[in-house]
Chain A
């Protein structure tokens, strides 16, 4: 079994009018199954662009991206949507929950687009919420949950389809210190107990410290790639 993720000389170039913006310049990266990787960088460093490409929300202008043995650069938008649905879970800084919709229904969302029967959707979502410690709050609306709880619903949603990869973009950005620690504990537990591959984008060193491997990006290039010393 090869690496779960393999980026080879990935470039992302945007054209804004006459100006060419090179967000990523020849990034090569391999990520194995079960790794917990933190991507650090300042704003504008290209870390978000890298996340978008890893998450199959965007495609490289040049270079290759292999996810679980599949060449993503050849995929069409509908295929990318399916890959995101099956293989990738997202956690966003602003939680990204649908308002006035219960925690259960939010967690079900990926399964809803997969077309599973409602009962199975509900069962798996309930299990995912349990996995993040939210049993009993299935029918609460986001407005009735704290920031930390909302983020946990988002994590449950990311887990519900049993993806190969979880991508977290500044997951603690909108949380206080206590909730941030709770969320990172959840992620760390999932990585340890379920061997869930996690890629975390952050600009905070304390958060990055939870990860087993840290990458620093600047100016669209990987500056350093270090394993945490245990």
Chain B
């Protein structure tokens, strides 16, 4: 038996090699189908991992409250149109919703900042100290903005790594130096540890944090002191999030005097929501890719069946000779099935290679993170075998049912 398998597989490879162009064209469907599966699963997995990383880097169990209500499609409407979220909202929430471990507030704007002879344009975020803990920021040097800084509206700042790279020489220590924001001097009290790219693709390290009070009074020129760009809250555990969200909604509706028939004048989002949207998108992608892959595999399988039928016809006399010297039906059946599976397997392996290369190309060229999973490779491999087996069955059966006498006589 092992000798039979070995020789038959070798014969199959020889048949393939005999007509490389024909074999290549036949395998094309399988190569494309498998390659597509591998590449797109890689993209999907990469996207999912990026989301998970984003969630982790943002801090788990976070609730984000934005002013204005969301319209259809999740587009956020009317931020800053009215004073809808305030610092006292945040303080009230902390008091009234015991599930929340902490609340924070922030407001951001873009402006220029200068150090020495270098300048940089970026976002300045006015924050409460609790923002740093809720959002899980840590420091490569220096320390956080404190409650005292907040209360005294101190001119202190935290800088992100990208800002440091652009305002300082390599090796220069930013902590203790002065940077000018909107031409006002700020003392750098800490450098933020890098967080990298967000799931939306923005650079999270391109940021400067200052105390909220300093920002609203000295940098932003806000007309209404106390109004915030966003509120943040956290719970101890993720399963507490839904209950906390509802509690927050109740408190805010009362505070904002919203009638029962009126919609919220704010939007509450949790990381779970964002994650679900992203996962939903990658689900759609997955369904699409399986459609493409299935069609390609079908085409590839039909191609194999076709080529095998041609091969059987071309080798009718050979089959007759094999039967004459003692090949039984199952020998002929097995031989052609193995030839079909060799075709599909080689196509599958090529497809896997192309899929991995394609996924890597995506990462390099488009910047999409990709993770090629060993499971997808195994599934693709098994599928190739199955396609060869299934589509090779008809031609192999036809070959095995040949009458030796007629086959020997075939011109």
- Give the interface of A toward B (CB within 8 A): 52, 55, 57-58, 77-78, 81-82, 84-86, 90, 92, 94, 96-101, 109-110, 112-118, 121, 157, 161
Task: Give the shortest distance, in Å, between B313 (CB) and chain A (any CB).
Answer: 15
Q: Which A residues lie within 8 Å of B264 (CB)?
A: none
Known contacts A98-B321, A100-B14, A116-B3; A52 and B326 CB within 8 A of each other? no
- Across the interface, do B4 and A112 meet the contact criterion of CB distance under 8 Å? yes
Instruction: For A90, give its contact among B3, B317, B324, B328 (CB under 8 Å).
Output: B324
Instruction: For B408, give its contact among A92, A99, A110, A157 (CB under 8 Å).
Output: A92
Q: Which A residues lie within 8 Å of B7 (CB)?
A: 112, 118
Number of inter-chain CB pairs below 8 Å? 69
Q: Which A residues lie within 8 Å of B326 (CB)?
A: 81-82, 84-86, 110, 113-114, 161
Residue from B3, B324, B405 whose CB has the most chain A CB atoms within 10 Å: B324
Instruction: For A78, give its contact among B3, B320, B328, B408 (CB under 8 Å).
Output: B328
Task: Give the shortest distance, in Å, between A163 (CB) and chain B (any CB).
Answer: 10
22 of the cross-chain contacts (CB-CB < 8 Å) are A77-B328, A77-B329, A81-B323, A81-B328, A90-B325, A96-B321, A96-B324, A98-B318, A99-B318, A109-B321, A109-B325, A112-B3, A112-B4, A112-B7, A113-B322, A113-B327, A114-B326, A115-B1, A118-B3, A118-B6, A118-B7, A161-B326
Identify which of residues 1-53 in chain B touch chain A, using a CB-to-CB cut-off of 8 Å.
Answer: 1, 3-4, 6-7, 11, 14, 18
Task: Give the shortest distance, in Å, between B262 (CB) and chain A (any CB).
Answer: 83
- Name the residue on B nearest A108 (C-beta): B7
Instruction: State the majority secondary structure of interface residues on B.
Output: helix
Instruction: For B321, give its contact among A81, A92, A117 (CB under 8 Å).
Output: A92
Task: Give the shortest distance, in Å, between B82 (CB) and chain A (any CB).
Answer: 84
Instruction: For A58, give its contact among B11, B317, B331, B405 (CB under 8 Å).
Output: B405
Chain B, residues 38-79, CB within 8 Å of chain A (1/0): the string is 000000000000000000000000000000000000000000
> Does any Cβ of A come within 8 Å of B404's Cβ?
yes
- 6 additional contacts, CB 8 Å, given A96-B320, A115-B1, A157-B325? A77-B329, A81-B323, A82-B328, A90-B325, A96-B324, A98-B318
Residue from A78, A84, A101, A114 whose CB has the most chain B CB atoms within 10 Å: A84
Task: Give the shortest distance, in Å, between A154 (CB) and chain B (any CB).
Answer: 9
Task: Give the shortest distance, in Å, between B404 (CB) and chain A (any CB).
Answer: 5
Known contacts A115-B3, A116-B3; A57 and B405 CB within 8 A of each other? yes
- Across the interface, do B328 and A117 meet the contact criterion of CB distance under 8 Å? no
Q: Which B residues lie within 8 Å of A92 (CB)?
A: 321, 408
Closest 5 CB pairs of A and B: A85-B326, A96-B321, A113-B326, A110-B325, A81-B328
